[in-house]
């Protein structure tokens, strides 16, 4: 049974006393042994973001995401630094500190590493190059607005980039005088394609007219850019408008003539798009795409000749989702694919033959493939249950990728809980998979509280790698005596298109029944206490958490809902992806079945709610409007049958970005689960957090100091 507010009224004085005498450490940043992971430690973890191997395969440039120190730097997202590591694992910091480096690439000659950044007096994000052996980075190209993405020409003498046009001077002047009204979904600026010659001496406005960037007159808003190896063409992804929904559902790859700037043809694809890559001889394009407009996620390897719009699916029956691709030679494509909770590394010829698996399923979780020019060395980002994302490398003939970086030495002294893959059957017989993080120091014949950690999407999935993050802190929970389970419910990716479509037109139906069936399985194997189960997740996982607190309230003793859906109609009406909502999720407009939308909305079932509910939301979220959280909070609070709290994060979008608000979230999540699954229950814990573990110690005056 859930710990209901009404059930503790008779012992309220005792509950108050318990809360007053309980150490604040239990309610906030708990003092723990130094050899277990805490929320504060989690907030300091560094992770590799992206990798690029040098053309000769000897070096790997990588982005290292470094959280800002609490109470030291101004609050904000993690800093992103540039580092370079050699094949022996010797890593050198190139650009570090309070910097934000993005879009790293090697220059065509391998002599430098290019990146985008706003440095010094830069008004806009510009293109920089730093020598491959270190030294000072120099600006080679700036524009009148931020450079959004770029691709080098094969000879290194030109670069193609995306940017928005500068706002009209009259409009800019009007805005300064108060005429700054937003005309929703109409007053956007298209992202355009420009070509320019990089120049160390004249990177920007001081260029002569003939040296200034040349804009291509392409229709639509541009994103992905790739210059062909022969230098004559570009591959450009164009969407009808810059709106998010069009970027998701309507982007198409165009082959563009560099000289004229005209689109020569549009590749024949439908639905979502991923990575794009030219063959070394420039005769073919490989891309990751959806199989149709209803495919929940791009994930199939397509190839097309550059003079023919027809695309061929090289792995039509692939049992997972392909995510990262690179050409090994003119006839062979290498790819990383997700299969279940693992990744695989393989290659295939462009005629569909010659398929060979290099790293099989069941061993690794890798991301972001990058190949050397000869195709014989590759770099990845990789993680495991023991460490977050790091740089890995593999060479021809090797069967095991080798880890090159160790970004969090302190983790080597931390005891981490056992993590394992669990398979079970749903009530209708469908076999499902998930990842279980056991309680640390688990004892036999003891049943533990469980936190169900639910991914968003739903077109996403959990891998058996490093799962602990600020919003799903399973190893922190394990150190407190919790089990955590990450379920890849039906509709998840990683098991092919058919599986990812199983939840379509059935929101909160069998997909969320799967979560309950996972709990029942863990109860059946005598690990979990059925009366002490919590649920949490963000976005679609927040929807699941709201559903667990209302419709399935008898199954969950605590719920933490993050940027989640409470009303399906408002999800369509107030969000920024209405067509994806129709084509991929619901398969119809809401008004075509309003009763289904009503019945599958947690707010419809608010009167059932007896699960203590913590709701958290960023106030600048455009994907799931903050009103979704406010509506559920207001109705549950006013009805008055269970504790509920709403926490709002100013300026945060769909998911927290700032270090402070991420740590705040972790602390509140764990405190809520401890309070209701292990602690006194009843009224919510105090809303003020104990932040003594992260605040710097105040310097005390020395009384003996001479005056």
User: Over the stretch 601-644, which tens digit does the pLDDT of each residue have?
Assistant: 999 999 999 999 999 999 999 999 999 999 999 999 999 999 99
Residue 224: which residues within 8 A CB-CB, separation 6 or more?
149, 235, 236, 237, 251, 253, 273, 275, 276
Average the pLDDT over 26-43 and give the result. Answer: 72
Checking if the pLDDT of 148 tops 90, the result is: yes
Q: In the prediction, which pLDDT does 33 show?
A: 59
Tokens standing for 611?
């699960």
E strands within 458-585?
Answer: 483-488, 528-538, 558-562
454 - beta bridge partners?
Answer: 537
Of the candidates 699, 53, 12, the residue with the CA atom closest to the CA atom of residue 376: 53
Tokens standing for 200?
């160390």
The residue behind tokens 């927040």 is 542
Tokens standing for 96?
């570090």
H or E segment and range at residue 380: strand 377-384
State the greatest distance between any 2 C-alpha atoms of the chain, in Å, as a whole number: 86
Q: In the prediction, which pLDDT does 545 show?
A: 98
Q: In the prediction, which pLDDT does 555 show?
A: 98
- Residues 449-482 have pLDDT tens digits of 999 999 999 999 999 999 999 999 999 999 999 9
Q: What is the spatial distance between Cα 160 and Cα 106, in angstroms, rounded to a whole number?
A: 15
Is residue 49 within 8 A of residue 65, CB to CB? The reply is yes
CATH number of this structure's domain 129-168+187-266: 2.120.10.30
Checking if the pLDDT of 442 tops 60, the result is: yes
**Which sequence spans correspond to the domains of the chain?**
6-41+411-677, 129-168+187-266
Checking if the pLDDT of 318 tops 90, the result is: yes
Is residue 499 within 8 A of residue 522, CB to CB? The reply is no
Residue 320: which residues within 8 A CB-CB, separation 6 or more?
299, 337, 338, 339, 340, 344, 493, 494, 495, 496
Tokens standing for 55?
């053309």
Of the candidates 597, 488, 587, the residue with the CA atom closest to the CA atom of residue 537: 488
Average the pLDDT over 142-149 and give the result. Answer: 96
Q: What is the spatial distance between Cα 392 and Cα 50, in angstroms, rounded to a whole number?
A: 11
Q: In the prediction, which pLDDT does 696 show?
A: 80
- Residues 330-343 have pLDDT tens digits of 999 999 999 999 99
Of the pLDDT bands very low, low, confident and very high (cuts 50, 70, 90), residue 380 is very high
Q: In the prediction, which pLDDT does 120 show?
A: 92
The residue behind tokens 């879009």 is 103
Phi and psi at residue 528, to the nearest 5°: -110, 140
Instruction: Say what the alpha-carbon torsion angle 297, 298, 299, 303 is, to the nearest 10 degrees.
Output: 160
Is residue 131 within 8 A of residue 112, CB to CB? The reply is yes
Q: In the prediction, which pLDDT does 167 show?
A: 85
Q: In the prediction, which pLDDT does 306 show?
A: 95
Tokens standing for 507?
């929101």
Residue 146 CB-density burial (10 A; 0-12 exposed, 13-18 middle, 19+ buried)? middle
Average the pLDDT over 72-93 and give the result. Answer: 96
Of the candidates 319, 315, 326, the residue with the CA atom closest to the CA atom of residue 368: 326
Q: In the prediction, which pLDDT does 42 show?
A: 97
Average the pLDDT over 401-430 and give the result. Answer: 97
Residue 18: which residues within 8 A CB-CB, separation 6 or more?
680
112-126, 177-191, 333-347, range with the lowest pLDDT: 177-191
Q: How far is CA 413 from each of CA 31, 36, 41, rounded to the nearest angstrom?
A: 17, 8, 12
Q: In the prediction, which pLDDT does 698 show?
A: 59
Q: What is the spatial distance between Cα 646 and Cα 386, in angstroms, rounded to a whole number?
A: 34
Residue 254: which residues within 8 A CB-CB, separation 6 or more?
218, 235, 236, 237, 238, 263, 264, 265, 266, 267
**If you compute the radius of gyration of the chain from its CA atoms, what whole number of angstroms results?**
26
DSSP-derived secondary structure letter, 165: P
Q: What is the spatial distance between Cα 503 and Cα 664, in angstroms, rounded to a whole number?
A: 33
Helix/strand/coil for 668: helix
Checking if the pLDDT of 255 tops 80, the result is: yes
Is residue 596 within 8 A of residue 571, CB to CB? The reply is no
From the options 3.40.50.1820, 3.40.250.10, 3.40.50.150, 1.25.40.10, give the CATH code of 6-41+411-677. Answer: 3.40.50.1820
Helix/strand/coil for 91: strand
Listing DSSP states for 284-297 in one string gives EEEEEE-SSTT-SS
Q: What is the spatial distance between Cα 114 and Cα 129, in angstroms, rounded to a whole number?
A: 4
Q: What is the spatial distance between Cα 281 and Cα 267, in angstroms, rounded to a whole number?
A: 19
Phi and psi at residue 436, to the nearest 5°: -105, 125
Report the percentage of the chain scoring pLDDT > 70.
94
Checking if the pLDDT of 11 tops 50, the result is: no
Residue 383: which residues within 8 A CB-CB, separation 6 or more?
365, 389, 390, 465, 466
Report the percentage of the chain scoring pLDDT > 90.
87
Residue 390: which residues within 8 A CB-CB, separation 6 or more?
48, 381, 382, 383, 403, 404, 405, 406, 407
Checking if the pLDDT of 45 tops 70, the result is: yes
Cβ atoms within 10 Å, residue 700: 6
Give yes or no on whether 6-41+411-677 and 129-168+187-266 have one common fold.
Answer: no
Of the pLDDT bands very low, low, confident and very high (cuts 50, 70, 90), residue 285 is very high
Q: What is the spatial distance between Cα 581 and Cα 573, in angstroms, rounded to a whole number?
A: 10
| pLDDT greater at residue 453 or residue 180 | 453
Pairing type for strands 528-538 and 448-454 reads: parallel
Is residue 338 within 8 A of residue 320, CB to CB? The reply is yes
- Average pLDDT over the chain, rounded to whole? 93
Tokens standing for 123?
């008004």
Residue 251: which residues within 8 A CB-CB, separation 6 or more?
223, 224, 237, 238, 239, 272, 273
25-29, 45-49, 66-70, 414-418, range with the lowest pLDDT: 25-29
Checking if the pLDDT of 18 tops 60, the result is: no
Q: In the prediction, which pLDDT does 15 show?
A: 36
Is residue 543 within 8 A of residue 602, CB to CB? The reply is yes
Is residue 568 within 8 A of residue 594, CB to CB? The reply is no
């Amino acid at each position: 049974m859930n710990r209901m507010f009404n059930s503790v009224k008779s012992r309220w004085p005792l509950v108050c006393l318990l809360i007053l005498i309980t150490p604040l450490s239990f309610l906030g940043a708990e003092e723990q042994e130094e050899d277990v992971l805490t929320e504060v430690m989690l907030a300091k973890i560094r992770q590799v973001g992206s990798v690029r191997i040098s053309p000769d395969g000897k070096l790997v440039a990588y982005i290292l995401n470094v959280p800002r120190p609490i109470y030291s730097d101004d609050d904000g997202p993690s800093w992103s630094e540039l580092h370079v590591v050699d094949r022996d694992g010797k890593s050198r910091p190139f650009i570090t500190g309070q910097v934000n480096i993005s879009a790293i690439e090697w220059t065509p000659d391998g002599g430098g590493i290019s990146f985008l950044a706003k440095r010094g007096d830069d008004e806009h994000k510009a293109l920089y190059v730093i020598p491959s052996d270190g030294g000072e980075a120099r600006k080679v190209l700036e524009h009148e607005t931020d450079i959004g993405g770029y691709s080098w020409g094969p000879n290194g003498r030109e670069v193609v980039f995306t940017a928005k046009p500068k706002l009209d001077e009259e409009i800019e002047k009007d805005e300064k005088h108060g005429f700054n009204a937003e005309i929703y979904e109409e007053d956007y600026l298209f992202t355009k394609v420009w070509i320019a010659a990089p120049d160390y001496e004249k990177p920007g406005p001081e260029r002569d007219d003939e040296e200034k960037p040349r804009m291509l007159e392409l229709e639509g808003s541009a994103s992905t850019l790739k210059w062909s190896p022969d230098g004559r063409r570009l591959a450009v992804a164009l969407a009808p408008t810059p709106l998010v929904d069009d970027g998701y559902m309507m982007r198409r790859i165009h082959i563009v003539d560099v000289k004229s700037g005209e689109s020569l043809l549009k590749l024949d694809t439908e639905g979502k798009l991923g990575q794009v890559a030219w063959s070394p001889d420039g005769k073919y394009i490989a891309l990751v795409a959806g199989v149709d407009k209803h495919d929940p996620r791009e994930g199939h390897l397509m190839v097309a000749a550059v003079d023919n719009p027809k695309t061929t699916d090289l792995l039509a029956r692939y049992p997972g989702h392909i995510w990262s691709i690179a050409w090994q030679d003119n006839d062979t494509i290498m790819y990383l694919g997700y299969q279940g909770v693992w990744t695989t590394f393989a290659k295939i010829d462009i005629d569909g033959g010659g398929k060979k698996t290099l790293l099989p399923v069941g061993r690794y979780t890798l991301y972001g493939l990058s190949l050397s020019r000869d195709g014989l060395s590759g770099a990845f980002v990789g993680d495991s249950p023991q460490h977050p994302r790091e740089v890995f490398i593999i060479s021809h003939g090797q069967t095991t990728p080798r880890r090159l970086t160790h970004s969090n030495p302190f983790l080597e002294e931390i005891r981490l809980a056992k993590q394992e893959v669990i398979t079970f059957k749903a009530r209708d017989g469908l076999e499902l998979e998930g990842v279980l993080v056991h309680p640390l120091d688990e004892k036999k014949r003891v049943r533990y509280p469980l936190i169900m950690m639910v991914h968003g999407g739903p077109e996403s999935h959990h891998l058996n790698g490093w799962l602990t993050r600020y919003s799903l802190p399973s190893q922190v929970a394990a150190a407190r005596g919790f089990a955590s389970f990450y379920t890849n419910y039906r509709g998840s990716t990683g098991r092919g298109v058919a599986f990812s479509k199983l939840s379509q037109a059935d929101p909160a139906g069998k997909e969320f029944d799967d979560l309950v069936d996972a709990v029942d399985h863990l109860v059946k194997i005598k690990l979990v206490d059925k009366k002490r189960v919590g649920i949490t997740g963000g976005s679609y996982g927040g929807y699941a958490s709201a559903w667990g607190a209302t419709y399935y309230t008898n199954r969950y003793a605590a719920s933490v809902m993050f940027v989640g859906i409470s009303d399906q109609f408002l999800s369509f009406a107030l969000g920024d992806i209405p067509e994806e909502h129709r084509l991929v999720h619901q398969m119809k407009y809401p008004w075509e079945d309003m009763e289904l939308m009503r019945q599958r909305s947690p707010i419809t079932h608010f009167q059932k709610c007896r699960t203590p509910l913590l709701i958290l939301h960023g106030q600048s979220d455009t994907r799931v409007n903050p009103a979704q959280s406010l509506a559920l909070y207001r109705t549950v609070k006013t009805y008055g049958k269970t504790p509920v709290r709403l926490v709002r994060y100013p300026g945060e979008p769909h998911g927290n970005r700032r270090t402070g608000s991420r740590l705040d979230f972790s602390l509140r999540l764990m405190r809520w689960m401890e309070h209701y699954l292990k602690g006194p229950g009843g009224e919510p814990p105090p809303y003020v957090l104990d932040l003594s573990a992260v605040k710097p110690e105040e310097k005390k005056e020395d009384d003996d100091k001479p005056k």
